[in-house]
Every structure is written in C-alpha cells, then in structure tokens.
Amino acid sequence: MIYKLDKRDYYKIKRLLQTPDQKNDLTLNSIINGMNRGTIYVDNLQAPKTALIDVTGIISIFIGDATNKQFIDYLRDFLDNQLKIDTYESCGGTWFITVLKDKTWERTLKNIIADKEYELDYELYYQFNPKTFASLKEKYKSLPEDYLIKKIDTDVIKNDPDGILSEVLGEVWYSIEDFHTHGLGYCVIKDNRVISACFSCCVHGNKHEISVETYDEEHMNKGLATLVCTAYLEHCIKNGLKPQWSTMETNLESKRLAKKLGFEFESKLKTLEFEWR
C-alpha cells in the first residue's frame, strides 16, 4: 500500500537519500525538513523503503527502492486516483510531472505509465555567477515610469488588492510568517497592484530556489522580470545567499532569462509528464 506520511515523520525518509546529488538536493531537503510545502507518500509509515515526494502538485520525485513491490504494485492506481485528487485540491493542477533521478526509476515509471500518452522533457539546473551578472546588468532596461520595485514584506502583502502574493506564497510556504523568516522576495508594483514578483520557493540553508512570474500579459516584454530578479539577486549577493535556478528545457523564456541574469547551465535530468483525464 501507499500511505501519506505525517509531516512530523518526514525525517524518516532521510536515510533514503543515498547519492551526493540526493543528499544535497535543495527541493528534497526543503520539504523533508518541513521548510516548504510538499507531501510525502511511502510504502511503510514506520520504516519506509520507497517514497514519493510531491512538490505541491508541481513535480514528483521518487527515491528509495524502485523495485519495492509494496510500493510499485500500487503505484498505477495511486497516481490515477489519490495523487490526481491531491494535486487538483492543492493547486488546481491537472498534470503529473516527475523528474527521473536514475535509470532504474526511469524503467519502473515508464512501465507504470505505459498506457498513457506521456511526454519527455528535461529539467535544467543552473548555477549563479555573480561576476557574469555584474557585467550584464548594465545593459538592462530602466524601470518604466510609474512602476516601483519593493521588497515583499507584511505591508506589501496586506496592501495587495488582488491577493496575488498571498496566493502564490501560500502554495509553497506553510505560512506567510515562515516566508518572512526564511524566505526572500521582491515585486514590481504599478497603481498599487502587483505586476511581477521574484521570490524564494524552496530554501535549504543559504540556498534559495527562485520563482519568478509576471501576472498580467499587458505588462510583459518591458523587462520587469529581469529588474525584479536583479533586486532579488543583489540582496542575495549582499547577504551571502546562493540563488538557484531550474526550469524545463522547453521553457525558452525561462532559459533566456536565466542566461540574461548570469546563471550558467550545470546539468539536466529527464522528466516524464502526462495530463490526467
């Protein structure tokens, strides 16, 4: 059977992190340590051998024994029923996306979803180069008139008329207080409305995964995402934080923005995805 692990017991799967990449994985550690939102499913509540870490309905990561029949034999039904429901209820998601950490899990999961029309992609991982960033930012556009960049704090969130910040932060943080304590963010404001934001979506130690988005198409292509990320990155540099960037290979805009901000490609992992029907 597959069970939902209580948040207080997330530490029980730490021993399943075997490789250096897993032990240092920002997303895995941020969820296991209870920093950021995520749900963990296991084969055994007391001594798990296999686990699925669901990152708030965004992406799923499998660790542990990929041949464990106590988990694998129930996985197809679990994906089509329980995880499908949990994903929709947590964030309205209708897609299953998993990153493949090794060849054994790739074979197992391809067999599990063989009856579905799935797609292959790659998740790309980047490292920040402050020197490259410093040389590039002189070429950025200036902030357009009537736009402001502000650090995301209690007042900014309370005065956000559309509640965008509360919504997006609530998807990845257990509380706004946790975000203020451990996270970081900046936003672009025009006419008291939040237009674009860059914030920490996963935190482990001094490593911060970046999430950035412009929320209104009318304000796109004005360099706002670049400028709000610039404020975020300058804060990281001054405070000894290590910003991280990851994106799908097919997300051309995210890849261009990463390069523009001084992030350099480091590695990639294959992903599988399909839409629940």
Q: Three-state SS for 89? A: helix
User: Residue 193 domain-assigned?
Assistant: yes
Q: What is the mean pLDDT of the chain?
A: 94
In a shared domain, residues 100 and 190: no
Domain boundary among 99, 116, 133: 116
**185 phi, psi to nearest 5 deg:** -165, 155
Distance CA 148, CA 144 (A): 9
Q: Considering 90, 116, 142, which residue would you say is the last residue of a domain?
A: 116
Higher-scoring residue by pLDDT: 223, 219: 223
Is residue 26 assigned to a domain? yes
- The answer to whether residue 277 sits within a structural domain is no
Q: Are residues 264 and 145 in the same domain?
A: yes
Query: What's the mean pLDDT in 264-271?
Result: 96
What tens digit of pLDDT does each residue of 153-166 get? 999 999 999 999 99
Residue 276 in any domain: the answer is no
What is the share, in percent, of the chain residues with pLDDT greater than 90? 89
Q: Is residue 275 part of a domain?
A: no
Same-domain pairing of 102 and 131: no
pLDDT at position 166 is 96
Q: Please give the pLDDT value at position 4.
A: 96
Residues 14 and 144 in one domain: no
CATH number, domain with residue 76: 3.40.630
129 and 111 co-located in one domain: no
Which structural domain range is residue 256 located in? 125-268
Assess whether 80 and 135 both reside in one domain. Answer: no
Q: Residue 58's closest CA among 201, 230, 270? A: 201
Q: How confident is the model at residue 261 (pLDDT cuts 50, 70, 90)?
A: very high
At 14-58, the pLDDT tens digits run: 999 988 888 999 999 999 999 999 999 999 999 999 999 999 778
Q: Is the pLDDT of residue 220 over 90?
A: no
What is the rounded average pLDDT of the residues 210-238?
93
The domain total for the chain is 2
pTM summary value:
0.93
For residue 90, what pLDDT is reported? 79
Residues 65 and 39 in one domain: yes
Cβ proximity of 72 and 112 under 8 Å: yes
Same domain assignment for residues 55 and 159: no
What number of other Cβ atoms are within 10 A of residue 202's Cβ?
A: 26
Return the residue matching tokens 């360099």: 223
Q: How confident is the model at residue 88 (pLDDT cuts 50, 70, 90)?
A: confident
Starting at the edge strand found earlier in the chain, the sheet holding 147-151 runs 3-4, 39-42, 50-55, 59-64, 95-99, 263-275, 119-128, 242-248, 207-214, 193-204, 185-190, 147-151
pLDDT tens per residue across span 228-257:
999 999 999 999 999 999 999 999 999 999
Please report whether residue 81 resides in a domain: yes
- Do 212 and 100 belong to one domain? no
What pLDDT, on the 0 to 100 scale, is given for residue 218?
A: 84
Given a cut of 80, whether residue 172 has pLDDT beyond it is yes
Last-in-domain residue among 116, 147, 173:
116
Same domain, 93 and 209: no
Cα 258 to Cα 128: distance, rounded to the nearest angstrom: 9
* CATH code, domain carrying 202: 3.40.630.30
- Would you say the C-alpha torsion 39, 41, 47, 48 has a positive or negative sign? negative
Same-domain check for residues 110 and 183: no
Query: Would residue 102 count as lying in a domain?
Result: yes
Same domain, 105 and 144: no
